Structure 1
Amino acid sequence: MDLKQLNAFITIATLQSFSAAASSTGLSQPSLSRLLKQLELELGVTLIDRYHRPLRLTDAGQFFYDKVRTLLTELETVTSMTQRLVAPRSALNIGFVPSVLYGLLPDIIATMKRHDPTIAVNLKDISSYQQIEALKRGDIDVGFSRFSHCDGWIQQILLRHERYMVALPKAHALAQTPDQRLLDLVNNRLILYHQTHLPAHIIHDSGSSITDKKANVTDIETEPLLNLFAQHGVTPLMTTKVSDLQVALGLIAAGEGITLVPASLQTVRTEQISYQNLVNDNVTSPIYLHTLKDVVHPRVPDLLAATYKVYEQRGMTYQRQRFV
């Protein structure tokens, strides 16, 4: 059993076609068929039903496919990490979620570059869970996220908890009312913008288009803002799902609803949007920084130091940590 046989099997099984697999790998169909047959003979089982169109995995083939695909992915990760360990890139590739970019990330990058103008930085807008695979592939070296992760390849630190604020249209009846409660907001249309749902729950794809819906139990378990309301025993009567935070703020500016945003965004579109405090306990959004466990880019400590310096300049509460 060798890597050529395993890769041939995975490609054939994934594409469900010898011809498509041949186009993908650059190998001829007879070569792929021979590699697959060698693998089946060595295992003593039939992996693919060749008489079904499209090709279909046998029960044994499905089991083998699931396990081998995971192993090959890990092997690719180890290979990429080994190469980066020997020859790390000079530029620091940073993944981020939009709410972090609208907040303090520009100040953090500027602080880091003031300390060392030679630092090269590339920023990539990428969702929290996509960042994990991006770290493994080497697409990014470090990521700012709003969600905790549990992955054997990744180490992360909690930077701080950021209070949520209510974002309302300037003409809203509550726009000038400080110290609001979640209960005060339930009769308003709540605009949902998170693309990543909470971990350990079923994830539902509501699509990229704007849809109105009634909140239900499953939404509350998975959608971050609805989960916050649920923790305080209330449920918004109306919700609208949008593709990202920028769209949400645009709708609020147009008077089409309200939402909750991290406090660092309270300077965005202030001519159209009013931001007010929430008095409820534990209404916060965490900020995490994560990177690989075994291969830490040499500039990551500089990024972390700049982050803490900005927090200190702003008088923000945090607990200093470091990557191992």
Structure 2
Amino acid sequence: MDLKQLNAFIAIADLQSFSAAAKTTGLSQPSLSRLLKQLETNIGVVLIDRYHRPLQLTEAGLFFYDKVSALLIELDTVTSMTQRLSAPSIALNIGFVPSVLYGLLPEIIATLKRHSSNQNSDIEVNLKDISSYQQIEALKTGEIDIGFGRFAHQDPWIQQILLRHERYVVALPKAHPLAHVREQRLIDLANNRLILYHQTHLPASTIHMSTTHPTITENNSLKSKHEPVTEPLLHLFAQYGISPFMTTKVSDLQVALGLVAAGEGITLVPASLQTVRTEQISYQRLIHENVTSPIYLHTLKDFIHPKIPDLLSAIYKVYEQRGITYRPQQFI
């Protein structure tokens, strides 16, 4: 078998049609059919049932598809990394989640550029707004060189270090009865509508089973009390055996804060966001010290951009200037 045969098989399996696969690959239908037949002959197995429309994978084809897809993705990653090793980018491409941008990231980038200028080696920095989990694929493809995220990852291609934990604060409408209470408890917030904004959930395998009461969601459906609580904000409440009475799910953090400003509920945000919409929103401290949002930095294991050590140095310099406790780490 060869790559042409494998790529033809993947295209046909994905699109469930020879004609659609032909348009995508730029090959003729007879060529695709011939490549698929050669592959099936080589391994002695029928992979696609041609008598169904749309085309269907056989049981053996399903198994082969799952394994080959992973291998081809890995091959693409290796190829991309090899190309980057031979001709590394001069620019440092940084991925970030929006909540990090509201924190110290602008100051860190300014410190990095100032250091490079002092060393007579100006640096070009490109910033890309991208979710924590999308950053993993972006690192593999070379779209970014390093990423600031909020979630831990387990990926054989990626190495990750924890920069620090950032305390959550509660965001309340200015007219809320608790808006001027300086020390907030999660139990006192449970009767409010909690606005959820995370698009990525925690891995269920890392979460203990919840024993909290059922939650009424926006569509008034009950969430089973025996399901793992993987939504990040709900998980914070669940750690204390609390479940908010009502929740609303929105597309992103800015929308969540907009709803808080409009008096439609409350939410929890990292402390670095407490300068947003301060005319309409009151941000108050939570007494729970472990209600935090981690900040991770991740990059590839086998290719570290030459400017990443300078970026780490800039991060730790800003932390020292701000009096932030941290444990110095390095990528290996």
Instruction: State whether TM-score is above 0.5.
Output: yes
Give the counterpart letter for 1:195 in structure 2. Q
Residue 320 of structure 1: aligned partner: 328
Tell me if the contact between 1:141 and 1:291 (Cα under 8 Å) persists in the aligned partners. Answer: yes
Residue 201 of structure 1 and its aligned partner are, at CA, apart by 5.2
Residue 260 of structure 1: aligned partner: 268
Residue 126 of structure 1 and its aligned partner are, at CA, apart by 1.2
Q: SS of the residue aligned with 1:269?
A: coil
Q: SS of the residue aligned with 1:285?
A: strand
Alignment pair present for 1:54 and 2:54: yes
Residue 94 of structure 2: aligned partner: 94
- State how 1:135-214 maps to structure 2 within 5 Å: 135-200=139-204, 211=218, 213=220
Tell me if the contact between 2:167 and 2:289 (Cα under 8 Å) persists in the aligned partners. Answer: no
Residue 205 of structure 1: aligned partner: none
Give the counterpart letter for 2:79 in structure 1. T
| Distance in 1, Cα, partners of 2:222 & 2:168 | 20
Q: Deviations over 1:42-92 (max 9, x none)?
A: 101111111111111111111111100000000000000000011111111
Q: Over aligned residues, Cα RMSD in angstroms?
A: 1.6
Residue 181 of structure 1 and its aligned partner are, at CA, apart by 0.5
Tell me if the contact between 1:215 and 1:236 (Cα under 8 Å) persists in the aligned partners. Answer: no
Q: 1:304 to 1:311 in 2, by over 3 A?
A: same
Q: Deviations over 1:240-295 (max 9, x none)?
A: 11100001111111111111111111112212211111112311110000000001
Q: SS of the residue aligned with 2:148?
A: strand
Residue 77 of structure 2: aligned partner: 77
| Distance in 2, Cα, partners of 1:180 & 1:10 | 54
Residue 35 of structure 1: aligned partner: 35
| Distance in 2, Cα, partners of 1:96 & 1:213 | 34
Residue 257 of structure 2: aligned partner: 249
Alignment pair present for 1:66 and 2:75: no
Residue 220 of structure 1 and its aligned partner are, at CA, apart by 6.1
Residue 303 of structure 1: aligned partner: 311
| Distance in 1, Cα, partners of 2:279 & 2:44 | 71
Residue 141 of structure 1 and its aligned partner are, at CA, apart by 0.9
Tell me if the contact between 1:94 and 1:142 (Cα under 8 Å) persists in the aligned partners. Answer: yes
Residue 276 of structure 1: aligned partner: 284
Tell me if the contact between 1:176 and 1:274 (Cα under 8 Å) persists in the aligned partners. Answer: yes
User: Structure 2 length as normaliser, TM-score?
Assistant: 0.92
| Distance in 2, Cα, partners of 1:215 & 1:312 | 46
Q: SS of the residue aligned with 2:42?
A: helix
Residue 130 of structure 2: aligned partner: 126
Residue 200 of structure 1 and its aligned partner are, at CA, apart by 2.8
| Distance in 2, Cα, partners of 1:20 & 1:58 | 19
Q: Deviations over 1:102-134 (max 9, x none)?
A: 111111111111112421111111111111111
Give the counterpart letter for 2:130 in structure 1. I
Alignment pair present for 1:23 and 2:15: no
Tell me if the contact between 2:6 and 2:39 (Cα under 8 Å) persists in the aligned partners. Answer: yes
| Distance in 2, Cα, partners of 1:57 & 1:43 | 15
What residue ranges of structure 2 are gaps of 5+ in the alignment?
207-216
Tell me if the contact between 2:195 and 2:267 (Cα under 8 Å) persists in the aligned partners. Answer: yes
Q: SS of the residue aligned with 2:147?
A: strand
Q: Return the match for 1:235 from 240, 243, 250.
A: 243
Q: Which runs of 4+ in 1 moved over 2 A?
A: 210-220
Tell me if the contact between 1:215 and 1:239 (Cα under 8 Å) persists in the aligned partners. Answer: no
Q: Return the match for 2:302 from 283, 294, 299.
A: 294
Q: SS of the residue aligned with 2:204?
A: coil
State percent identity of aligned pairs. Answer: 77
Residue 213 of structure 2: aligned partner: none
Residue 213 of structure 1 and its aligned partner are, at CA, apart by 4.6
